[in-house]
Structure 1
Amino acid sequence: MISHLAAPEVSLKHLQPRQQDPCREQEGTKSDEGQLPQVVEELRDLQVAPGTRLAKFHLKVKGYPVPRLYWFKDGQPLSTSAHIRMADKKTLHTLEIVSVTREDVGQYAAYISNAVGAAYSSAHLLVRGPDEPEEKSASDVCEQLVPPRILERFTPKKVKRGSSITFSVKVEGCQAPTIHWLKEEAERGVLWIGPNTPGYTMASSAQQHSLVLLDVGRQHQGTYTCIATKAAGQALCSASLHVSGMPKEEEQEKMKEALISTFLQGTTQAISAQMSESAGLTGLAGQRKGEALVAEEAHSHLSLTEVGTEEFLQKLTSQITEMVSAKITQTAGAWR
């Protein structure tokens, strides 16, 4: 039972913390890239009276690299203001609501991420006067004690611009969990995807939950996270989406082609000069033919994806050396 305290300044009550998905704790291990963000202390539901001077959420997280944390209320991002204060001290993160009103009622959530993965925690803020009846929970024992568990996960994907893609998860639970979808991009932060978010369609059927992306473009690229949450806890699944065929990538391909062409042009000129010095004068037509063959041979052995890498330079140097030796030997033999 939740007790009501009369004094607004202290009428603050922490409700029972939510449980973590056991699979989520297993995921909080170290890898070659670092450590997955893990919530050490979850957010807890708060109940306060109207006019309370300060309502304070706090949670502790760990992970490496140091995770980024984003705050949301009812799916909308929060930012610092005179009414909302945020603080970070090492692993402890706090969110404070100043001079609480009934408009502050809602679900508050923290999305935590780093290069390895993501974590999530949420809680509710209830604003109720001492004379108001307490709301009865309709949750049964199963809802209260068993957190959701993800049975089937989606994986990282790479698709072409203009195509369609679906992320799907299968979630186990005696009652259907609440499903949230988020997209994170380093340059733009986190997007909380809702039913009316342009470019996205959400669907749920029994244990299957999906996010559909139509006509994929630059705006869809990023890391997607599905969060299944109930009163007992949460379960997460995250994976990245890379969109190929973007204008920037097409421009890079053209630059690679230009790089090869410029490099080979200079190289064939050097080959021609060395051939002339070693074997005497040759016909202009033969020289041009030799240059064309050199360029064709070099281009046929090069992969555009290797341009600029150390392997590319080593391969190109080796091929040019072989071709120079072969052409000099061939020309010298013809003049003997």
Structure 2
Amino acid sequence: MTILAVRMQRRSFLCALASLTAGFASSSTEAAERLRLAAFMVGLPLDHPIVLTRLGILKRLMVQRGWIEGQNIRYLVRSSNSDPQTLATTARELVGEAPDVIVAGSSTETAAILAATRTIPVLFSTASDPVGSGFVRSLERPEGNATGFSNNEPSMAAKWVDLLREIAPATLRIGVIFNPASAAAGGVTYVEHLSRSASEVGISLVSAPVSALSEIEPALAELAAQPGTGLFFPPDSFTFRNARVIAPLVAKYRMPTMYPYETFVEAGGLISYTGGRDESDLVMASYIDLIFRGANVAELPVQFSRSFELVINEKTAMALGLTIPLSLRVRASRIVS
């Protein structure tokens, strides 16, 4: 099956979620009456605005599906606080609560939860490379106890390379900075896709793995020593958490950089291109509802973004001596000034 066919199949499935839910509702009234436990594991602090916003949206979507907190559903939210030392412990404690479903905030949390259970249904709200990470056997039919949503699949590599070249035409090579311990599939799949896409347009690729925040500046200094170097930070929960530290460091070494999340651009990064996250909330709510009403998680396909967001920081472009071409301006979802 081609990528286009897979996307079309997923789009059709997403559009059919409402009717599927209705079908399960009509045959599962008794099941819906039992108090269900939906557990969540995130890497960000529980009082972080992103966590509060996403959880609030999901709860409202669940109410629309008939799941009222305190009546037929309760929520349990835990954070690992991005601490590798407590990640496995937090996952085991959450599994020990015997929830009906567990929602994981990222690939890092998903891996920890799946190491603790292969029976409880697990939904990843974002996992950039679920097949490469071993979370599912295939996108169309996961066949395990996990499925969910991804907004930055590896096949987007060609687009990331093209956009970086479009805003910074003098780019001759691209340095890829990531933490193998937290990047999806250890970053391997992304480096492979990026390498192929870059070579097709005559650009070389340099892999620059790091394992700590203190290693990022030395990596930047080494990459900046060669003129014509641009950067890309693939999806990685470690670099995402440290976006507000990384973006200013990159600016210091004056290299045009493409990011997978607008958080970096808001912190001073040049440009980002990412799949829309809003659809994740709909998928999570719909899948939780379907699982509560009897659906088999192994038969629920992984869903991907149908919309994409291009964000550019005009001030950063000017500081780099770059002019945002009209072709990018008209396509940008937002230009940060």
TM-score with structure 1 length normalisation? 0.22
The structure in which a higher percent of residues are helix is 2
